[in-house]
Structure 1
């Protein structure tokens, strides 16, 4: 019997091997290399109602440019956070608008040097 080929290292990160998630040529927008996909868990309410505390998200680490806008995992200097990012056109230096879906949290702007985009969130799952 075949076993699920997933290994958790470090905690909260799951590395998916090719045998578990083969690349799909019909879906060009998805990561071609499963080694560049990570499953992470959401903590907090800043992205509610879109993402809730405890949701699992699939992060495509090959997509680190906020164009088109979307929801990304980024390191903002305080840790990893999930936020909606929009590129600010014609900004010098290049900058992004960082937006929480929960309106209790204000949006803010950061230059490309002030944040590190880990990857674009492609999928999420929620426990019932």
Structure 2
């Protein structure tokens, strides 16, 4: 059975770059969200065991998504993918429950060790 993942980013180009960085042969079913509200809706629909989350999006930021997940005790594996590489942003997303942080533009070389470390990809 495919692993349901969500790629949440308001940039179509960023969503495409991240999709191309996913490991070849990884059995996933990808859903896309262009804002945080869509990402949460996809999660609630059972389509986000793993969520790749941008921080700067309209309607609801990645920080707000993480806060909602934490507040509602929702359980998904979140990897933040952001151009905001400030140490404070990294600390905040980790405090809000994100498992990892990858700087944009994401590459397979940056992503693969995280997926392997957490047993998401063999």
Using structure 1 for the length normalisation, give the TM-score. Answer: 0.26
Looking at secondary structure, tell me which structure has more strand per residue. 1
Q: Which has the higher contact order (CA 8 A, sep 6+)?
A: 2
Greater C-alpha radius of gyration: 1
